[in-house]
A and B are shown apart, each in its own frame.
Chain A
Amino acid sequence: MKILACYSMKGGVGKTASAVNIAYWAAKSGYRTLLLDLDPQGASSFYFRVKSAPKKDWGGRFFKAYGEILKQVKASDFTNLDIIPAHLSFRNFDIFLGQINKRKNRMQQVLKGLKKEYDLIILDCPPTISQLAENIFAAANMVLVPVIPTTLSERTFDQLTSFFKNEDYSRRKLIPFFTMVDGRKQLHQQTAISMRKRYKRFLRSAIPYSSDVEKMGKYRAPIDIFARGKQANKAYLALWTEIERVLKDSS
């Protein structure tokens, strides 16, 4: 079982759209996939039309045992793909983590219990650099970072890389890729070229800026369901194919 996190400190960079479409293609490629929506806003749960159980504080039991997590699993409309929908109580994850021992590895321990049922766990992460984020860095085999080729996003990615270095996390886990790319913008082109030079692990596939990605909210489904032949869909398939290759190479 591999754990793949879609993570960025910055909001609005396409984390959720990427997590949803990558999870969809992974499941379609035959991987028994679980998408864990860690963002209390619950956008990826919304895209898959799943709702969390109305229990008040299940987030409080999240880190207790994997059995607690299993109770929240819901089948998606697609074969091989299950979802753990977000819950408002997930906003308190840092408080819960603050109350327990072995804080950094807690996520890893809990997710380990799912290895019989799933080949791949995809974490849709909230934009935060906190105890929860550190748990994600420890648990994930691969931290996929969507980067818009702009100055601010570049700066954020640099900060993340430094954090990994300072906190002694393996920087090999960090796999960035470009999102919302507008080929007509000179700034996008220049930033992309310069970042690819500095960071060799950038994936070759990039997600173009597309209204089809925005339409996911309207259709509440992965892009392949409503815009099969479109550029954005092809880009996500290519991105998944590349990720799959990296996963295979690393195992």
Chain B
Amino acid sequence: MMETATQACYRLHNKISSQELRAILPKSYALCVGTGKQKNLILLDNFDWDICQSGLLLIQENKDEFQLLDGNDNLLASCCVQGESRFWWQLPTGNLADKLEELSPIRAFVPKYSCYLKTDHFAITNTDEKIVVRMELYSVIGSNNLNFYFIKTLPLRGYKKEYSQIRKCLAAIKPEELPDLNLRSLLLPSRSEVNHPEKKAIFELTAAEPAEAAISRMAVKMIQLARCQEQGVIDDIDTEFVHQYRVNIRKTRSLISLFKKSFSLERYQLFKTELKSLGSQTNELRDMDVFLLDQDYYCKMLPETLWPGLDHIFRRIKRRRTTAFKRVANYLAGTAYLEQISCLSRTLHQPPELATKQSGMKIRQLAGEKIISQYQLIHADGIAINADTPDQAVHDLRIECKKIRYLLELFTELFPAKEVRQLVKLLKVLQDNLGRFNDFSVQREFLMHLGQGKNLSADQLASINGLTAVLFNKQVNERSLVVDNITVFIDESISAQFKKLFETDPKKGLDE
């Protein structure tokens, strides 16, 4: 193969006109202006920037065309859209819908950035009027009033000398050389635009930090993370906003409850009341969301003859969901909520009272003790569960497992990360089993409650009963796995690991 010079890409500090470009070229060359292209582009992604983070770009071009591009601007899939297209399942069946299902299974894609992209083509010719170098000027006129300009020089075979001469001339406008120029670098020039939210909170804990201060700081951070979701909930972008909001509030509640002895009774009561109230506001909405998200799953459980009844039920639930959503949106946008949040925040920001013995304890030692005692609790409860134990005991164990999961995840920073991750992985197997067992139970209760409603037709009742029966079978099946999964988690080797990782050595102390 012949050795050819490679293209060069630059970011310009200012806009440049064709006259200015002509002026920097040597006199023996002429600049010919070719036809330009322009288009309106919208960069789409979900709240977490999952598409961008996986190295791809989802672009909406000229309002009705969606394109999925890879890092080299190769088109992976595309489709024309009509009407609302915020989720993969709202797109026409095909390659793009399939790929977006993988990239963003639940979350909606929303406009992140929009611009008007203009591409001007130039040809630089020699005295024979032969083109010796080509050039492309990209002007990105952002809807946020920030504009960026880029130049790409393209060598032509057999004109290496001319190419290097022209590149040298470009140095006069002091452009910033870039390794490459593609749609990603045009639309996200500083890369800081991809401001995805923290998926897991980082608290920067220190081992010796007094418990009350540390727990307060952690609660503040998690409430902040919950609050990042508020606007998405109010705008009803997708169901993950309310879910993540609830997860953060629930973790805060659990943390405060596990470390209640680190606070004065008065403070603890305030936290408990406010957090309980915050959490409960979204319960109904989340229940409806979960049921609606599983629409296909429920359909598959029933024979086709029962689908019309099921369809009616989903329509009822959608109406209820609309009501529940309005209530939550009004609540989050209202002053009462803001007062609640500011009261919580004010109290959490107040100096530690150090009113209890635990409040001054070093957080690493205390967290370790909590993890050990929580594990011991699960151990004791787990051993007592056999095939005939009433369901309530299994549900209680699920809640205790959730608490230890939160403890392990929230305090990972203070302990050996790799070992903690392995324990979490193991715990997850048990939790998934217990979670499914609980879900089937909740779903059955939900359906039974629905079945007691007024104005239900015979086909609706038939599908409710059908689903209840299938769910019961599934729950029984899940229950049969519980004992084995508990046995694995309370095994001696796991107990030893918990001890090794979290137990305080009375001689050394964990904090050293």
Contacts and interface: CB of A to CB of B under 8 A. Distances in A.
Interface of A: 48-51, 70-75, 77, 82, 116-117, 220
Given A50-B158, A82-B157, A77 B131 contact: yes
A51 B2 contact: no
A83 to B, nearest CB: 8
Given A48-B130, A74-B158, A82-B158, 20 more contacts: A49-B128, A49-B130, A50-B130, A50-B158, A51-B128, A71-B2, A73-B157, A73-B158, A74-B156, A74-B157, A74-B159, A75-B131, A75-B156, A75-B157, A75-B159, A77-B130, A77-B131, A82-B157, A117-B1, A220-B128
Given A70-B2, A117-B1, A75 B128 contact: no
Interface residues of B, number: 11
The winner among A48, A71, A74 for most chain B CB atoms within 10 A is A74
B313 interface: no
Contacts of A70: 1-2
Given A49-B129, A51-B128, A70-B2, A75 B158 contact: yes
B159 to A, nearest CB: 7
The winner among A48, A71, A73, A77 for most chain B CB atoms within 10 A is A77
Interface in B110-157: 123, 128-131, 156-157
Contacts of B2: 70-71, 73
Contacts of B157: 73-75, 82
A132 B185 CA distance: 52
Nearest to A116: B1
Nearest to A83: B158
| Interface SS of B by simple majority | loop
A48 B128 CA distance: 10
Contacts of A72: 158
A75 B2 CA distance: 12
A77 B123 contact: yes
Contacts of B158: 50, 72-75, 82
A71 B4 CA distance: 10
Contacts of A116: 1
22 contacts: A48-B130, A49-B128, A49-B130, A50-B130, A50-B158, A51-B128, A70-B2, A71-B2, A72-B158, A73-B157, A73-B158, A74-B158, A75-B131, A75-B158, A75-B159, A77-B123, A77-B130, A77-B131, A82-B157, A116-B1, A117-B1, A220-B128
The winner among A48, A49, A70, A75 for most chain B CB atoms within 10 A is A75
A48 B156 CA distance: 14
Nearest to B128: A49
A71 B160 CA distance: 11
A17 to B, nearest CB: 19
Contacts of B1: 70, 116-117
A49 B131 CA distance: 9
A116 B158 CA distance: 18
A229 B21 CA distance: 34
Nearest to A117: B1
A72 B131 CA distance: 17
A71 B2 CA distance: 7
A123 B123 CA distance: 28
Contacts of A82: 157-158
Interface string B176-199: 000000000000000000000000
Nearest to A74: B158
Contacts of A77: 123, 130-131
Contacts of A73: 2, 157-158
A221 to B, nearest CB: 10
A38 B394 CA distance: 89
A49 B156 CA distance: 14
Contacts of A51: 128
The winner among A48, A49, A220 for most chain B CB atoms within 10 A is A49
Rank and list the top 10 A-B pairs by shortest CB-CB distance, nearest first: A74-B158, A49-B130, A75-B156, A75-B157, A70-B2, A49-B128, A77-B131, A73-B157, A73-B158, A75-B158
